[in-house]
Structure 1
Amino acid sequence: MLGKIQPDLQQNLFKTRLTELINMEHPLVKLAQEISWDKMESEFEKLFSENGRPSVAIRKIAGMLLLKEMFKESDESVVERWIENAYWQYFTGETFFQTQQPFDPSNFVHFRKRIGEKGLEFLLGQSVSLHPKAKTEDEVQVDTTVQEKNITFPTDAKLAKKVIDNCVKIAEKEGVIQRQSYRRVSKQLLREAYFGHHPRRQKKASMARKKLRTIGKRVLRELERKLPADILKDYHPIFSIYLKALTQEKTTKDKIYSLHEPHVACIAKGKSGKNYEFGTKVAVVRGRKTGVITSVKRFFGNPHDSKTLEASLAQSERVRRSVGGTRPGKASADRGFRGIKEVEGTTILLPAKKDKTRYGQQVARLRFRARAAIEPCISHLKRNHSLGLNFLKGVAGDINNALLAGIGYNLKMRLNQIKQQCMLWLEVVLKIFLCKYN
């Protein structure tokens, strides 16, 4: 059942109205007034049933989700800061200053699952609507990056040790008596597997890695023998991941790099400081003149950049059309996207040989100099928003985290624009004052 914020028009003797505490010209107050909360509530209202306990009001939880992405907070920290910040409380629709936690942080997980990718695309469209020129902009810029997953650096020894530990936990949970748990042995073998690149330790480390794999297979086979058939069928997907992690070689395709996040891919982007990144590939579509992000699309594995164009431009079209916009007519990209010249009516512009005319050379030079502006945009997404390290679980977590980063970027851009307008207004007032009294 959908919960709603009831407007309290009566004065409360023991509570203070937020409008008496805060500056109504504050940029966050103005941003809250620009967002269409009624449209957001009517969009998400159909996702709730008519019966049951009332949920958290949509403006409250959606507003806190937007604040979380704008200011790069976690699910827990945004709830803690909300209690201390009167402007954040006004942004989420409160009338009086609150001193208690609005809801449990785990509600963010349920809300993200409830609205899904379609709901987050709607929120991205609402963030685009705050920039009127962005929805009809003809030319966009496209680039790809890696959304890293919050996992440890994978090695064969660590994966084998984790398989052994997990199998021991499953045996204890299901009441299976093992011949040997290998707790102390696997711990010592993991120590011996360290620093295998050193010539004096190379042979010992190699033998330790092989022994860990052997023990892992032995423990896994024992579980498969001793578990009852009705229980074993529930563990088949997990055991197949464990077996693949223990048997994969250097040349194996689609390797397992994390047992709890098996979909993670190893992606090389040619960086000197970080040769490989473990996560998922993300394509970003950004307006050339406005700089507004209209698509942040997550892809499985490590596809070629040219294979990401169709899906990312389709998402950009859906987002822009949801707020009355149009599909972009041109998309400028780097040479990593070579191979495709047009995607469903959108012309793909790539750096090529010099144009025959001098005017054509100047236009191309300016276009691809401007295209480089997407690089710092991606850097902001990673450093100031949540794209740098993804803490959300599974494939759905990858999709949600990428879209939320784009939403936070657009909202923060609009917030900064409002701040600049306020500063310009103050400068004008100050000049008038000085002219009048000088």
Structure 2
Amino acid sequence: MLAKQQDRSQHSLFFSLESTLNHKHPLFILANKIDWEMFEREFSPLYCPDNGRPAKPIRLMVGLLILKHIRDLSDESVVEQWSENNYYQYFCGEQEFQPRVPCEASELVHFRHRIGKEGIELILRESIRINGKDSNDKDVYIDTTVQEKNITFPTDDKLAKKIIKRCWKIADRNSLDLRQSYRRILKDLSYDQRFRNHPRNKGKARKADKKVRTIAGRLVRDVERKLGTMVDGYRNELDLYKRVLAQKKKDKNKIYSLHEVDVQCISKGKEHKLYEFGNKVSITRTGSGVIVGALSFRNEFDGHTLDKAIEQVEKLTERKPRNGICDRGYRGRSKVRDTLIHIPKSFSKALSTYRKNKERKYFRKRAGIEPVIGHLKEDHRLSRNYYKGITGEQSQAASAIYINCL
């Protein structure tokens, strides 16, 4: 149910946030630039008008989402700090200080699910609009990066041990009498797996790894037998364990995490980090530094992401970019929709000196997107994705671009 409209026409005689706060503070200025009524119009149809418990105000929820990414906070932290920060409260529409938390942290999760990917893009569009002429550049610079999921570095041994622990939990929950728990044996095997890089220990560690996988398979089969008629409730979980234990080193579409089965293994050619586990994110920015596009992908070739990236720019800015400047990872594309794609390559002898200098200027300026991506990762939650599943990846990719609001 929609929240009841509050009467804001009458302010406190002695105290109000607007008269107390510094009008030059970035959050105060930003609060008066954003078109909050637009969010009310667009998000109101997502609520039932006259049934159920009244929801929190839409401005409050949208403001908390923006603050979360501007200040690099978790859901729990932004809710806690809101009750202590006058600027946060004014940004979210309060006229007087409220000494309480605005909502439960879980309500931000429900609100993200309610507005979906389209709602997040609407917030991104508004962040583009408040930058004015800086977002009207005819040239866009495009690059991709990897946003890692919040998982540990995957190894076969880690996955096997997690499967064993989950089998123990299923057995305890359903009072199953396992044929053998292998707890003492696993403790001894963990000693054999230490210092595996030493030449004398490699063979012993490999044998221990193989034994751990064997034990995991035995426990899965034993739990499946002992569950009897209750096995249908654990069918998907047990099938996942069997698939993990059966996968080989060279297999495609491998599972790297039990709680995030959609994680992709992505190689970006980094010397210090050969593989990253998460999803690919495409970032599009103008020459003046305004980010006008952000999309999440699985593990597509960079050139295959251009169509959707350019389409999103046209949708959010309501204009068609003339030139798209990319790196060599996008090779093979020369034109997407009505946008010309420029990729570094050896110049033709027939190319004029003016055109060569123009291309060089493009490619030098394109390098400016690299520190922007680094800034997003370091300060605006793009480095690691804490959201669940593929839907969370799409939401995180677009919501990390509240850097435009700074």
Cα displacement string for residues 253-290 of structure 1 (whole angstroms, at most 9, x for unaligned residues): 12211110111122222222222211111111111x22
* AA partner of residue 305 (structure 2): T
Distance verdict in 2 for CA 1:178–1:99, change over 3 Å:
same
2:11–2:95 Cα contact (<8 Å) kept: no
SS state of the match for residue 83, structure 2? helix
Identify the range of structure 1 (262-271 vs 46-55) with the bigger mean alpha-carbon deviation.
262-271
Cα displacement string for residues 74-125 of structure 1 (whole angstroms, at most 9, x for unaligned residues): 1111112212211111100001111111111111111111111111011111
Cα displacement string for residues 368-387 of structure 1 (whole angstroms, at most 9, x for unaligned residues): 00111110110011001010
Asked if residue 152 in structure 1 is aligned to residue 134 in structure 2, the reply is: no
Asked if residue 290 in structure 1 is aligned to residue 288 in structure 2, the reply is: yes
Distance verdict in 2 for CA 1:194–1:298, change over 3 Å:
farther
Identify the range of structure 1 (134-143 vs 162-171) with the bigger mean alpha-carbon deviation.
134-143
Partners of 2:373 and 2:5 in 1: how far apart? 36
* Shift, 1:182, TM fit: 2.4
Partners of 2:324 and 2:124 in 1: how far apart? 20
SS state of the match for residue 90, structure 1? helix
Partners of 1:405 and 1:3 in 2: how far apart? 27
Partners of 1:175 and 1:329 in 2: how far apart? 66
Match of 1:306 in 2: 303
Matches within 5 A, 1:366-405: 366-405=361-400
Matches within 5 A, 1:199-348: 199-229=199-229, 231-287=230-286, 289-300=287-298, 302-320=299-317, 325-348=318-341
Match of 1:133 in 2: 133
Distance verdict in 2 for CA 1:95–1:350, change over 3 Å:
same
Distance verdict in 2 for CA 1:179–1:336, change over 3 Å:
same
Asked if residue 121 in structure 1 is aligned to residue 118 in structure 2, the reply is: no
Asked if residue 163 in structure 1 is aligned to residue 163 in structure 2, the reply is: yes
Partners of 1:4 and 1:385 in 2: how far apart? 33
* AA partner of residue 64 (structure 2): M
SS state of the match for residue 106, structure 1? helix
1:161–1:187 Cα contact (<8 Å) kept: no
Cα displacement string for residues 317-352 of structure 1 (whole angstroms, at most 9, x for unaligned residues): 2222xxxx2122221101110011122222211112
Runs ≥4 residues deviating over 4 A? none
Match of 1:420 in 2: none
Partners of 2:110 and 2:26 in 1: how far apart? 30
Identify the range of structure 1 (377-386 vs 73-82) with the bigger mean alpha-carbon deviation.
73-82
Match of 2:357 in 1: 362
* AA partner of residue 253 (structure 2): D
Matches within 5 A, 1:181-192: 181-192=181-192
Match of 2:24 in 1: 25
SS state of the match for residue 25, structure 1? coil
TM-score normalised by L of structure 2: 0.94
Partners of 1:184 and 1:94 in 2: how far apart? 59
What are structure 2's unaligned runs of at least 5 residues? none
* Shift, 1:132, TM fit: 2.3
Match of 1:53 in 2: 53
Asked if residue 411 in structure 1 is aligned to residue 405 in structure 2, the reply is: yes
* AA partner of residue 377 (structure 2): K
Identify the range of structure 1 (382-391 vs 170-179) with the bigger mean alpha-carbon deviation.
170-179
* AA partner of residue 293 (structure 2): S
Partners of 1:409 and 1:182 in 2: how far apart? 51
1:165–1:183 Cα contact (<8 Å) kept: no
1:297–1:399 Cα contact (<8 Å) kept: yes
2:46–2:115 Cα contact (<8 Å) kept: yes
* Shift, 1:303, TM fit: 1.9
1:133–1:290 Cα contact (<8 Å) kept: no
Cα displacement string for residues 394-429 of structure 1 (whole angstroms, at most 9, x for unaligned residues): 1111111111111x21112xxxxxxxxxxxxxxxxx
TM-score normalised by L of structure 1: 0.88
Match of 1:350 in 2: 343
SS state of the match for residue 218, structure 2? helix
Partners of 1:372 and 1:333 in 2: how far apart? 9
* AA partner of residue 183 (structure 2): R
Partners of 1:308 and 1:11 in 2: how far apart? 51
Partners of 1:27 and 1:89 in 2: how far apart? 14
SS state of the match for residue 279, structure 2? strand
Match of 1:434 in 2: none
* Shift, 1:296, TM fit: 1.3
Distance verdict in 2 for CA 1:247–1:196, change over 3 Å:
farther
Partners of 2:162 and 2:190 in 1: how far apart? 10
* Shift, 1:176, TM fit: 2.8
* Shift, 1:4, TM fit: 4.4
What are structure 1's unaligned runs of at least 5 residues? 413-438
Match of 1:178 in 2: 178
* Shift, 1:135, TM fit: 4.9
Cα displacement string for residues 273-318 of structure 1 (whole angstroms, at most 9, x for unaligned residues): 222211111111111x222112211111x22111111122222222
1:285–1:295 Cα contact (<8 Å) kept: yes
Partners of 2:12 and 2:133 in 1: how far apart? 43
Partners of 2:255 and 2:44 in 1: how far apart? 40
Distance verdict in 2 for CA 1:217–1:176, change over 3 Å:
same
Distance verdict in 2 for CA 1:195–1:254, change over 3 Å:
farther
